[in-house]
Amino acid sequence: MNPVKSIVYEAGQHAVLLLHGLSSSPLEMRFLARALYREGYTVIAPTFDGYSAGTTEQRMEAWLAAAVSEFDALKAKYHTVSICGLSIGATLAIALAAERPAAAALILLSVTLEYDGWAIPWYRFLLGWAWYTPLRHRWRYREGEPYGLKNEALRAKIARAMQKDAISEVGPSTISLPALHEASRLSAKVRRQLPAIKADTLIIHAIDDETASPLNARFVDSQIGASFLRTIYLDDSYHMITSDNEREIVAREIVMFLRESDATRHAGDGTAPVVSKALARRLRQIAAVGN
């Protein structure tokens, strides 16, 4: 399998760090990256050794260290840096926000603290036990229908891609047991960190997510310490919301959220953010609800 390159689109002084899912690639984030770039955001969707597809598994501490390094490099170059993650990438994004409170905004897409969706095999609970057996180096979870997609035409395309290669634009064909074990460790860490997260937070989750049920989003919503928090549930997508039927809605809501976050953050620092009349009206509505 040829390694997938990072996505880098340079534009304005607000950079958005996009974190793809476990054992996958930036291809998952390509549509969103292009949408953000068109709106004037600098976008970076990197690959990480030990986390991304085509690399040897490493412990979750290495994933987080790589994400921190990427964030620090962006913060040294750009005025504002926000973090956006998909699936386990969203869990990693929370851990990164805990390490780097300077993150302006945190965007969690299909956040996965637990693999508890309706398509997850019944034997999932046995994997914790299997880690302590010789299976840990041999067993791999194989991705199957519906591949995180409600869109049947795209699902058929992905099925063909999975037969030819180990990776597709919506993720890997298999995930190793060591990678899943490290994801579980990361989730346990993040659950404890949520109350300390203060960054403006947007959560988007599909109500029919077959990989991670909406209970994941509800838990984060109830525990995170953000004062500016928005949660959106989609009704025409599965897990891969950056590629599925409502991907344009996802991109539009993220752009709107980032603009509102920027406007509210700068409102009291003596600067005058440039906002449209529609955005100003939306902000007044939010303020009224808060009061």
Each residue's pLDDT, cut to its tens digit, for the chain (291 residues) gives 455 689 999 999 999 999 999 988 999 999 999 999 999 999 999 999 999 988 888 999 999 999 999 999 999 999 999 999 999 999 999 999 999 999 999 999 999 999 998 777 545 544 554 545 656 565 455 565 677 788 878 877 776 666 666 555 545 556 777 888 899 999 999 999 999 999 999 999 999 999 999 999 999 999 999 999 999 999 999 999 999 999 999 999 999 999 999 988 766 544 434 444 555 555 556 566 555
Residue 80's domain comprises 7-290
For 111, the 3-state DSSP assignment is coil
Q: How many domains does the chain have?
A: 1
* Domain contains 47: yes
* Domain contains 2: no
* Domain contains 174: yes
Residue 111 tokens, joined: 């956040």
Residue 158 CA to residue 161 CA, distance in Å, equals 5
Residue 174 CA to residue 189 CA, distance in Å, equals 24
Q: What angle do CA 16, 17, 22 make, to 5 degrees?
A: 145
CATH of the domain at 68: 3.40.50.1820
* Domain contains 153: yes
Minimal CA–CA distance to 43: which of 199, 183, 242? 242
* Domain contains 1: no
Residues in the chain: 291
Residue 277 tokens, joined: 């009349």
Residue 287 CA to residue 281 CA, distance in Å, equals 10
Half-sphere exposure of residue 3, counting CA atoms within 13 Å on the CB side?
13
